């Protein structure tokens, strides 16, 4: 009512969610969707350049301008870019399937113990099971006139006597509830203690009592391990008493509605209230995952006592509500690489007030705690073997080295490996096409989905296999374009240009055709070119060649496995002996879990972060040269891929 008049709010209704928001006239439609809790893909963060946020205005009026992303036909039927539309009247907006973000939290099958399922020689060894969080049940003597020492002294005396804990500090929150809790069950209590994240000579990890409960609660002793990815967030519920994983779940990072990579997120954080919105978005994602983890177990939120997170530097800054602005500006300085543990609920995470969040230390602006976590989990710092560790994700991070030295670099690959920016892309969960083959040229494609159910979309590893399969069958050329002569019927002109039909509508879970488009292939080629260029540049700059590598460890949240042969075929991985490759899945999540089980590895995480030397790929002229060479399948330097070259020549000769 700024001008003295009462302005009626405008109603914006979104389908198929069936939800709405009340906004002012002139409000941004993408923002209205965010306010209504509707998730629309906005790869460029609302800058208007990606065209991923298209919606159908079914009723009402918006102010918007035609754009190259919208055909005349689509414009005439009411398609608009949400980020470039101002709301003028009450609206009914339909978000088409290709513009929708998957936000459902999905549970995953889990390995029950740390390290199970990882190939030998790719997991940290020699650590003792010593979680940073401990529970100790005490049956304390009741006070008497001859022993009327304070409740706290009685507790500390008991911890020393029964749990061998000396000089334990006490969180002030414990003191407040101590008198009631101790008396409720006649001085039978369970004390929860937390060791410091950093070991110093002086205190030898002096533990602090952070919680006190009546009776024996040692069976409910849980922790949370998280990988906070730019595109995907994964969490595990851990039994800290037995060293087991209880449940696992994952979903899209809710920040994805504000941009698909770390640069657009940083840009968004600089808008008014932007940092807060991004922080809340990832915290909501974390809270949703925690809820699903608890729903899939017999435990309650009160049983969770600890939390470990691993994320890249930008994700870590945003989670902690720290301005990431200077990460993007030369000379690219993060505010901090080591974040002290904080109370989880001070960040908005819905757990008890005594739960602390431990965050993996970062190395540099674009080399974060996720890679440190993965390297620690893989035990790369424990072996002399010259190892290459690649974390394939939106922010691709690579490390070369061994127990003596490590050099690391990061390259922005975009979200294609996690199914982002791909027409029918999805995260690696049930229904995602993971394997794909064309046995004979001209034959129908064969595919397998995660969980063996009807196909719903394509995950990152599926995308690699599809592109390799199409290349091998001559359906696409080495420049990633469809070869209309090679296939009749499945290659066609679609809404977004040329596409190849993988699953016809009647056979899919969505009831719609599942296709791969030339734009998808282009996105994958750019992503793999960035990763491979990073590998080439880094190896050259440390004075070794790919052939010198003794082990290549591949990590990523893009599938349950990676087909090495197909990854080499498309030019993502170097063409070296296949036995050197090992896939460890989500390495960042594994490290987060292992550190929750062992303070030995907590120490290793700091050591690894300190020993890594960062190499700025953007400062190297070699990087761009290798990147451009990688925009071809497998690469314009065919000599770097001799086995692929032989195979492709063989195919042409048929």
Nearest-approach distance from CB 558 to ligand FES, in angstroms: 23
Residue closer to ligand FES, measured from CB, 34 or 371: 34
* Beta carbon nearer to ligand FES, 22 or 47: 47
Q: How far is the CB of 11 from ligand FES (least distance, A)?
A: 22
Instruction: Point out which span in 37-45, 124-132, 339-347, 617-625 binds ligand FES (CB under 6 A).
Output: 37-45
Least distance from ligand FES to the Cβ atom of residue 420, Å: 13
Least Cα distance to 90 among 9, 3, 151 occurs for 9
Q: Does 52 bind ligand FES (CB under 6 A)?
A: yes
Q: Is 589 in the site for ligand FES (CB under 6 A)?
A: no
Q: Which span (13-21, 41-49, 331-339, 380-388) binds ligand FES, by CB under 6 A?
A: 41-49
Quick one: which segment of 46-54, 412-420, 560-568, 570-578 binds ligand FES (CB under 6 A)? 46-54
Do the Cβ atoms of 46 and 83 come closer than 8 Å? Answer: yes
Considering the complex, state which of residue 46 and residue 324 has its C-beta at the smaller distance from ligand FES.
46
Between strands 356-359 and 304-311, the pairing is parallel
Q: How many angstroms separate the CA atoms of 470 and 474, rounded?
A: 6
For 199, residues 6+ apart whose C-beta sits below 8 A from its C-beta are 205, 599, 603
What are the angstrom distances between the C-alpha of 554 and each of 318, 393, 531, 557, 628?
A: 26, 11, 12, 10, 23
Cα–Cα distances in angstroms (integers) from residue 431 to residues 421, 424, 459, 501, in the given order? 18, 12, 9, 17
Residue from the set 43, 269, 508, 598 that interacts with ligand FES by CB under 6 A? 43
With 0-12 CB in 10 A as exposed, 13-18 as middle and 19+ as buried, what is 199?
Answer: middle
**Nearest residue to ligand FES on Cβ basis:** 83
Which range touches ligand FES (CB under 6 A), out of 43-51, 304-312, 597-605, 635-643?
A: 43-51
Tell me if residue 484 falls in helix, strand or coil: helix
Classify residue 577 as exposed, middle or buried by CB count within 10 Å of its CB (0-12, 13-18, 19+): exposed
Strands 62-63 vs 86-87: parallel, antiparallel or unpaired: antiparallel
Nearer to ligand FES (CB atom), residue 42 or residue 572? 42
Residues in region 5-24 near ligand FES by CB under 6 A: none
277 touches ligand FES (CB under 6 A): no
Q: Are strands 188-194 and 222-228 parallel, antiparallel or unpaired?
A: unpaired
Nearest approach, Cβ of residue 53 and ligand FES (Å): 4
Q: Which residue, 48 or 241, is less far from ligand FES as judged by CB?
A: 48
DSSP code, position 355: P
Judge residue 652's burial from the number of C-beta atoms within 10 Å of its C-beta, 0-12 exposed, 13-18 middle, 19 or more buried. Answer: exposed
- Please select the residue that binds ligand FES; options are 19, 31, 48, 332, rule is CB under 6 A: 48
Q: Which of 33, 50, 189, 601 binds ligand FES (CB under 6 A)?
A: 50
Q: Does 51 bind ligand FES (CB under 6 A)?
A: yes
Q: Is 210 helix (H, G, I), strand (E, B) or coil?
A: strand
Joined tokens for residue 31:
């923002």
Distances from the Cα of 28 to the Cαs of 83, 86, 369, 397, 402, in angstroms? 6, 5, 35, 35, 51
Contact segment (CB under 6 A) with ligand FES among 36-44, 118-126, 178-186, 331-339 equals 36-44
CB atoms within 10 A of CB 553: 26
Taking the complex as a whole, how short is the minimal distance between the CB of residue 70 and ligand FES, in angstroms? 10
Number of residues forming the site for ligand FES (CB under 6 A):
13
| Closest distance to ligand FES from the beta carbon of 324 (Å) | 20
Is 81 a residue that touches ligand FES (CB under 6 A)? yes
| Contact status: 46 vs ligand FES (CB under 6 A) | yes
Q: Interface residues with ligand FES (CB under 6 A)? A: 42-44, 46-53, 81, 83
């Amino acid at each position: 009512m700024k001008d003295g008049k009462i302005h009626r709010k405008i109603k914006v209704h979104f389908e198929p969610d069936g939800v709405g928001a009340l906004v002012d006239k002139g409000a941004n439609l993408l923002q209205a969707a965010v306010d209504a809790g509707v998730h629309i893909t906005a790869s460029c963060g609302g800058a208007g350049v990606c065209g991923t946020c298209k919606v159908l205005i079914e009723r009402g009026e918006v102010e918007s301008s035609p754009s190259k992303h919208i055909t005349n036909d689509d414009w005439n039927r009411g398609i608009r870019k949400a980020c470039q539309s101002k709301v003028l009247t009450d609206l009914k907006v339909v978000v088409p399937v290709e513009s929708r973000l998957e936000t459902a939290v999905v549970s995953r099958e889990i390995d029950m113990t740390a390290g199970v399922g990882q190939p030998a020689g790719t997991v940290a060894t020699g650590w003792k099971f010593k979680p940073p969080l401990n529970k100790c049940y005490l049956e304390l003597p009741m006070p008497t006139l001859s022993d009327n020492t304070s409740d706290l002294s009685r507790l500390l005396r008991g911890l020393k006597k029964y749990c061998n804990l000396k000089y334990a500090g006490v969180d002030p929150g414990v003191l407040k509830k101590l008198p009631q809790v101790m008396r409720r069950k006649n001085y039978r209590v369970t004390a929860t203690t937390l060791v410091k994240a950093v070991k110093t000579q002086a205190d030898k990890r002096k533990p602090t009592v952070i919680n006190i409960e009546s009776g024996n609660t040692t069976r409910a002793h849980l922790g949370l391990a998280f990988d906070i990815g730019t595109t995907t967030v994964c969490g595990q519920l851990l039994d800290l008493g037995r060293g087991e994983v209880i449940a696992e779940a994952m979903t899209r990072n809710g920040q994805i509605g504000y941009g698909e990579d770390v640069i657009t997120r940083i840009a968004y954080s600089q808008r008014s209230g932007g940092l807060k919105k991004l922080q809340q978005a990832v915290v909501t994602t974390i809270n949703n995952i925690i809820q699903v983890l608890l729903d899939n177990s017999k435990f309650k939120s009160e049983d969770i006592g600890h939390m470990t997170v691993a994320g890249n530097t930008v994700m870590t800054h945003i989670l902690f509500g720290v301005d990431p602005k200077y990460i993007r500006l030369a000379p690219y300085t993060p505010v901090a690489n080591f974040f002290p543990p904080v109370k989880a609920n001070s960040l908005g995470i819905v757990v008890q007030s005594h739960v602390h969040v431990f965050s993996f230390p970062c190395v540099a602006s674009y080399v974060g705690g996720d890679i440190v976590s993965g390297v620690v989990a893989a035990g790369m710092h424990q072996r002399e073997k010259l190892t290459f560790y690649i974390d394939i994700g939106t922010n691709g991070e690579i490390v070369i080295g061994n127990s003596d030295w490590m050099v690391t670099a990061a390259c922005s690959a975009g979200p294609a490996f996690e199914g982002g920016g791909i027409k029918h892309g999805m995260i690696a969960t049930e229904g995602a096409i993971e394997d794909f083959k064309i046995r004979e040229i001209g034959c129908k494609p064969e595919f397998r989905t995660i969980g063996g159910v009807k196909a719903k979309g394509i995950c990152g590893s599926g995308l690699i296999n599809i592109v390799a399969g199409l290349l091998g069958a001559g359906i696409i050329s080495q420049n990633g374009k469809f070869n209309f002569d090679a296939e009749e019927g499945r290659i066609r002109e679609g809404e977004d240009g040329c596409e190849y039909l993988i699953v016809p509508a009647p056979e899919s879970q969505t009831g719609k055709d599942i296709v791969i488009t030339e734009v998808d292939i282009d996105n994958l080629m750019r992503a793999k070119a960035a990763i491979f260029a990073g590998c080439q540049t880094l190896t050259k700059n440390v004075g070794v060649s790919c052939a010198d590598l003794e082990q290549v460890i591949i990590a990523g949240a893009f599938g349950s496995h990676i087909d090495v042969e197909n990854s080499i075929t498309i030019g993502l991985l170097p063409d070296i002996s296949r036995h050197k490759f090992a896939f460890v899945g989500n390495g960042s999540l594994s490290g987060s879990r292992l550190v929750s089980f062992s303070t030995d590895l907590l120490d290793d995480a700091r050591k690894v972060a300190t020993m890594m030397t960062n190499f700025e790929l953007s400062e190297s002229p070699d990087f761009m040269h290798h990147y451009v060479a990688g925009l071809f399948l497998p690469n314009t330097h065919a000599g770097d891929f001799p086995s692929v070259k032989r195979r492709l020549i063989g195919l042409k000769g048929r």
